Amino acid sequence: MFWTVHARNKKAITLDLRTEAGRALFLDLVDKSDVIVENFRPGTLERWGLGYDVLAQRNKGIILVRVSGYGQTGPDAHKAGYASVAEAASGLRHLNGFPGGPPPRMALSIGDTLAGMFAAQGALAALYRRTVTGRGQVVDAALTESCLAVQESTIPDYDVGRVVRGPSGTRLEGIAPSNIYQSADGSWVVIAANQDTVFRRLCEAMGRPELSSDARFANHVARGRNQDDLDAIIAQWAAQRLPTDIIDVLSAAGVIAGPINTVADVVQDPQLKAREMLVEHFDERLGRSVLGPGVVPVLSESPGGVRNAGPARPGQDNDDVYVGLLGKSAQDIERLRAEGVL
């Protein structure tokens, strides 16, 4: 189902860039395009005679987005890249899990997603720049660097104080209370009340107003130093209540709290439904509609939508693109197919 979501709204064409006719057809596409996205190993396009300089000669406004493991330059540029290794090499994996335990992987390919998001961000910036200069440029997005970019202050923390941030389980060290707590039915609830004013409201809602003036918890720094004690108090309170009761009481008091949802919970979420963030689209491979996530962010004047699931077959849109966009004839397409170009 990965393809259904990540390839939605796309057209699928086939083209062998290792052939002379394939490269010529690719350059015809460049003439008609704003952005080219590739994720070959660095140097591959150049070996085929399709480097950025060649593309820019055909279309000076073309933007070439290059996604790779380590970037287009540097001693590791030649290496193949996978999200799992990028997450580890960037230090991101080291931050996951519990102290003393192995660094687990998130149950998603987060490195690939981050690289795609930064690549898209770079493409948009390059398109905006093109409105000023009239010229395109190369957008170089690396998986490893994308994982590095989301690590907040880990680098300056180390540079200034030689602090090596490590895994902290279900909480952030020094930020309290902000953790998960088990309720009476065994499910978990997130409670985040690390601001002084919000913490006071939490104490009132728990029936423990004296905690907000307790020297151990009286301010943000003190609570950070005494996280274990504070978490134990909140955990004891939460364990006696059902999750809905916890959330209702805290929400009424102005304290941020919420459930740990599974996907089965998510697809029933009234907020997501109201925001049209759970949308159906037809999947030709399955012969049925499939539920998927909506388009983020929501634009007021030109909101995005889901037209179709990921393409069902390689090359299913060859005629739309090569005939409809490039003006090739049906005979051209048949010849290219016979030659193995398509």
Q: Which of 65, 61, 64 has its CA nearest to residue 135? A: 61
Give pLDDT tens digits for 304-335.
999 999 999 999 999 999 999 999 999 999 99
| Phi and psi at residue 180, to the nearest 5° | -105, 145
Position 101: which residue type?
G
Predicted confidence band of residue 188 (pLDDT cuts 50, 70, 90): very high
Coil, helix or strand at residue 185: coil
Report the SS3 class of residue 33. Answer: coil
- What's the rounded mean pLDDT across residues 126-132? 99
Cβ–Cβ under 8 Å, residues 63 and 122: no
Closest by CA to 323, choosing from 59, 13, 30, is 13
Give the H/E segment covering residue 27: helix 20-31
pLDDT for the residue 273: 97
Amino acid at residue number 327: G
Which pTM value belongs to this model?
A: 0.93
- The secondary element (H helix, E strand) that includes residue 259 is strand 256-259
Phi-psi label, residue 292: left if phi above 0, alpha if psi -120 to 50, beta otherwise: beta
Q: How far apart are CA 218 and CA 200, in angstroms?
A: 9
Fold type of domain 178-260? formyl-coa transferase, domain 3 (3.30.1540)
pLDDT at 65: 99
Cite the active site residues.
112
Q: Which among 147, 171, 45 has a CA at the least distance from the CA of 89?
A: 147
pLDDT in tens, 30-73: 999 999 999 999 999 999 999 999 999 999 999 999 999 999 99
What residues contact 215, with CB distance under 8 A and at least 6 apart?
Answer: 222
The H or E element containing residue 147 is helix 143-149
- Structure confidence at residue 318 (pLDDT): 97
Domain locations along the chain: 178-260
- Cα torsion angle, 309, 310, 315, 321, sign: positive
Please tell me what DSSP assigns to residue 211. G
